Amino acid sequence: MPTDDLVSTLRVTAVVRLSPHLVRVTFAGVGLTGTGTWPDQQLKLCFPRPGQAEPRVPAADPSEVMRWYQAFMAIPDDERPWMRSYTVRAHRGSEIDIDFVLHPDAGPATRWAAKAQVGDVLARYGPSRVYHQALPKGQDHLFAGDLAALPAIATLLGSLPEDATAQTFVEIPTPDDAQVLSRPVTWLSRDGAPAAGSPLLLDAVSRAEVTEDTVVWLAGEAAVVRSLRRHLVERGVPKSRIQFTGYWRHTLTQDDAPTAEDLAEAQERVAR
């Protein structure tokens, strides 16, 4: 893959408010046709600092990941873009759709998405197939996550064979945040209550039917994901059948240092 497929600027071509807490932004960019497509396709978005027309990114070879990241971190703090991880909701040649959750405690990504307009510019690193992890083979699936996990869940459901089964649980802030997907979903609305401490996902998953052959995919707030995984392992689902990712952390951002739990999770995912 050409190295310039990994990094480029992205220009906003459309903005659609999907629901009270979700906005879809369509981007066009050079190199997207060379990245390929697959379910749960991840990339990094770089958001400009105040006063910047577009984010500043390194000229270092992006195929040398650590060297590129070191060059990124060497950019002065007040000029270095905020970097956040997102899932591609749809990929059409030189265009991609990204769905942004509008969190109440708005960070730089939420602030940007709430005001996004056609012509705005971000930068990207990825998507790279190096980081793609295919689901384990199996016919029976369980997907669980929150609104941040919805884009990935949608693409994973759309990739399943017709004869596969899927139990899907998605926690959402309000009923109006539900969507029509390719397969049935159990929507768990908090009815406007805070996400912190919500038992909805764990309660729903605890009632789901699982076996040692069930393929499980979990994502969302890190502590919730760990609780879901522990519960399913205790019910006999092998760890090798569970893919899990903590997308975000209460009171912490991706700029904050990882916790001991974050590091342990990362080490286990790498080991798998």
Enumerate residues 6+ apart whose C-beta is below 8 A from 120: 11, 12, 112
d(CA 156, CA 54) in angstroms, rounded, equals 32
Q: CB of 258 within 8 A of CB of 266?
A: yes
Separation between Cα atoms, residue 103 and residue 22, nearest integer Å: 9
**What element of type H or E holds 216?**
strand 215-221
Q: What is the mean pLDDT of residues 167-187?
A: 97
DSSP class of residue 176 equals: G
Q: What is the mean pLDDT of the chain?
A: 91
Using CB atoms within 10 Å of the CB of residue 25, give its burial: 0 to 12 exposed, 13 to 18 middle, 19+ buried. Answer: buried
Rg of the Cα atoms in the chain:
18
CA distance 40 to 156: 6
Residue 44 clears pLDDT 90, i.e. is over it = yes
Give the pLDDT band (50/70/90) at residue 254. low
Those residues whose C-beta lies under 8 Å from the C-beta of residue 130, and which sit 6 or more positions away, are none
Query: pLDDT digit string (tens) for 25-40?
Result: 999 999 999 888 999 9
pLDDT of residue 2: 37
Q: Which residue, chain included where needed, has tokens 């009270």?
A: 20
The CB density around residue 109, as the number of other CB atoms within 10 Å, is 23
pLDDT at position 251, please?
A: 61
**Gap between the Cα atoms of 96 and 105, Å rounded:** 26
Domains, in order of start, for the chain: 3-131 (2.40.30.10), 140-271 (3.40.50.80)
Assigned token pair, 245: 């990712």
pLDDT digits (tens, 9 = 90+) for 180-199: 999 999 999 999 898 888 89
Contact 119, 26 (CB under 8 A): no
Whether 3 has a pLDDT exceeding 50, the answer reads no
97, β-bridge pairs: 26, 90
